[in-house]
Structure 1
Amino acid sequence: MHAAPPVPEIDALEKSPVLPQIEFRSVTKTYGKITAVRDLSLTVSRGEFLTILGPSGSGKTTALMLLAGFVAPTEGDILIAGKSVGSVPSYRRDQGIVFQSYALFPHLTVRRNLEFPLEMRGMRAAERAARVERMLERVHLKDFDDRMPSQLSGGQQQRVALARALIPDPPFLLLDEPLGALDRNLREQMQVEMKSLHKEFGITTICVTHDQEEALTLSDRIVVMRAGRIEQTDSPEALYDRPETSFVAKFLGEANIFENPNFKIESDEAWPSGTVPMIRPERIRVAAPDARNRGDADQCQSVIGTVDDMIYAGPLRKYHVRVGSSVFIVREQVAAGQPIFRPGDGVCLEWLRSDIRFVAP
């Protein structure tokens, strides 16, 4: 088996580290009258873990398929290291891909699944064997090398898929809902493993998901998409703490957004025109009506309300509290000796004025 001839556009990845490794330039993709991605402009730096996050139909998967070369842009261009890859077919793009379904070869053992991409690149048998051994050791599957995919758990299959994508040492890795098929505990374990692998290999990674926790845990930067467009791009901390729109605030966690509050909202910041106030549920303290002791009066705001509902969720307790026509969501960590409020109880809600944010409706 002979190695595929070099592709100039792909070889350029090793050059010009100052350039963005991946760049979307005003990319639009339409299917008939439906526009899946509209005027997408985005850069990805070398070694970055970037997650594209959004609900179904937001265009996030189409963006990944465009980068992978499975579909072509209707308008615009995609560049790798400053070179257009529009004419480079998917099978000639030196990339690693992990699908939600894993797409392992069911008739091949774990070892043979890992050997296959190396064979396709013409690697010699001795080098293949050594690289497979190292990778099996790294993903904790050395004792499972002769098993078939059907004999593995979901987490083990996921590790095989990641190992197969990483073993050829591609310049970048594409992940399509990589943890969507796992249960919650396995997802959390694999998030830790994926973060560790990214740190170790330093590979540029673009992940597509609708799971907010996954995006916050794994990413250096998150792109939130809506209806084919980018709604906001920033670090996980900045996106969560300072969302620019109510869509981002509500999609990335929970948010209390007061479009028509029946009480005056106090804030340390000026209220920009065309925006509405917002506060995260965990920033609000719930207490008995006469307990207003969180901080200095000039730093806090408090209101009196009535508990509509209380939801116990293990380490968290969530309250729905009615204040006039507004309903607050309040989330607190469960602790020993903490008062518990039931539906119908009067409570005081208190928060720091500095925790109020303003978002576009």
Structure 2
Amino acid sequence: MNFTSSVSAVEDDALEESPVSAQIQFCNVTKMYGTVTAVNDLCLAVRRGEFLTILGPSGSGKTTALMLLAGFESPTRGEIFIAGNSVAAVPSYRRDQGIVFQSYALFPHLTVRQNLEFPLEMRGMVAADRAKRVERMLERVHLKDFGTRMPSQLSGGQQQRVALARALIADPPFLLLDEPLGALDRNLREQMQLEMKNLHKEFGITTICVTHDQEEALTLSDRIVVMNAGRIEQIGTPEALYDRPATRFVASFLGEANILENPGFKVEFEGTPPSGTVPMIRPERVRITAPATPQRAESNQRQSVSGIVQDMIYAGPLRKYHVRAGNSVLVVREHLASGQQVFQPGDEVSIDWLNTDIRFVVA
């Protein structure tokens, strides 16, 4: 068993031992479009009540996986189970799910209130009960005074709130989010991330989100599934995936990574690295100083190398340096602080890190 598959096995074992049951399961699901394999032998269990994000670049198979679960696509091979029942013969409109698309897909000819009433009317709820539930939901998403407006009269953030409210109003057993914040600017995305996190905590609904946005995945998720070329690269909590990526792809896609393969200097570390792996360190774990800076007390546990600054990038709350050391260009990221020395391209510097901050990833 290679290092990647052993990580997946650990995740599978943890799920089996968990007292929380799996609500959704993909069992050896493959989806092909002609000769192109979009999803390849996908095995995934989603725990009841968790917020799970499927993260990956374009073409990784993440959206196809969501469309298969939603019933908009059918597997070429394999089975999908919801609450223990196969949904192979269940059409999308009978899967009792809430869905939010990147485009929001609000009915443009209906008011906000009518958009929220629609799924309740389809379920046969009487008008008086519909009205009460809609008013409660409008208040919950801070749109109490917007019920008579048309979608075209709303901002992007307001439309997103309406789409979320419509998906949640009928109390579906699970919620599917397809790039839900992709159409918003950065400030609105951050606001909606907090809103979605609060809504998930309040409703406790099982949520599967598809995105290519790393920050979104790290902020919202209980677990993250990183996909690449139709397959799962790694599954884990945000902390586990960021701090202990299994593969070079996960390390580089989920944040930035300094891959120390043939760096031109000996890399010191603790323990024995797994076979077929290369060392890696995150940019924020690397310290940059002037060459004559006194060593820290734990200097015997740190590795220090000399380098030349190639670039300095000011990015608001932090600075990012590109430092050539040996055969490598390492990224160093430090948060701004008063009295901090600023280095410029061409400056000689020393960079150092704790040996225990070195991680090993499958090459």
Query: One fold, TM greater than 0.5?
Result: yes
Asked if structure 2 preserves the Cα contact closer than 8 Å seen for 1:279 and 1:356, the reply is: yes
Match of 1:239 among 241, 245, 250: 241
Encode CA deviations 1:152-179: one digit per residue, 9 max, x unaligned.
0000000000000000000000000000
Tell me, in whole angstroms, the C-alpha distance in 2 between the residues paired with 1:144 and 1:73: 41
- Deviation of 1:297 (Å): 2.1
- Deviation of 1:49 (Å): 0.3
- Deviation of 1:82 (Å): 1.0
- The residue number in structure 1 matching 2:156 is 154
- The residue number in structure 2 matching 1:80 is 82
- Deviation of 1:281 (Å): 0.1
Tell me, in whole angstroms, the C-alpha distance in 1 between the residues paired with 2:44 and 2:70: 15
Match of 2:221 among 201, 219, 225: 219
Match of 1:327 among 313, 326, 329: 329
- Which secondary structure state, in structure 2, belongs to the residue aligned with residue 21 of structure 1? strand
- The residue number in structure 1 matching 2:253 is 251
Q: Which amino acid aligns with 1:35?
A: T
- Deviation of 1:292 (Å): 4.2
Within a 5 Å distance, the mapping from 1:98-113 to structure 2 comes to 98-113=100-115
- Deviation of 1:273 (Å): 2.2
Encode CA deviations 1:271-312: one digit per residue, 9 max, x unaligned.
222110000000001000011433412211100100000000
Encode CA deviations 1:292-335: one digit per residue, 9 max, x unaligned.
43341221110010000000000010000001211110000011
2:248 is the counterpart of 1:275:
no
Q: Which amino acid aligns with 1:166?
A: L
Aligned length: 345
- The residue number in structure 1 matching 2:302 is 300
Tell me, in whole angstroms, the C-alpha distance in 2 between the residues paired with 1:152 and 1:42: 37
- Deviation of 1:72 (Å): 0.4
- Deviation of 1:18 (Å): 5.7
What's the Cα RMSD here?
Answer: 0.9
Give the unaligned 5+ runs of structure 1.
Answer: 1-16
- The residue number in structure 1 matching 2:8 is none
Tell me, in whole angstroms, the C-alpha distance in 1 between the residues paired with 2:20 and 2:319: 48
Asked if structure 2 preserves the Cα contact closer than 8 Å seen for 1:292 and 1:302, the reply is: no
Moved more, 85-94 or 260-269: 260-269
- The residue number in structure 1 matching 2:174 is 172
Asked if structure 2 preserves the Cα contact closer than 8 Å seen for 1:106 and 1:148, the reply is: yes
- The residue number in structure 2 matching 1:342 is 344
Q: Which amino acid aligns with 2:108?
A: P
Tell me, in whole angstroms, the C-alpha distance in 1 between the residues paired with 2:276 and 2:80: 35
- The residue number in structure 2 matching 1:10 is none
Q: Percent identity?
A: 78
Q: Which amino acid aligns with 2:334?
A: E
- Which secondary structure state, in structure 2, belongs to the residue aligned with residue 199 of structure 1? helix
Q: Which amino acid aligns with 2:339?
A: G
- The residue number in structure 2 matching 1:53 is 55
Q: CA 1:294 to 1:152, structure 2 compared with 1: closer, same or farther past 3 Å?
A: farther
Q: Which amino acid aligns with 2:241?
A: L
Within a 5 Å distance, the mapping from 1:116-131 to structure 2 comes to 116-131=118-133
TM-score after normalising by structure 2: 0.94
Match of 1:291 among 290, 293, 312: 293
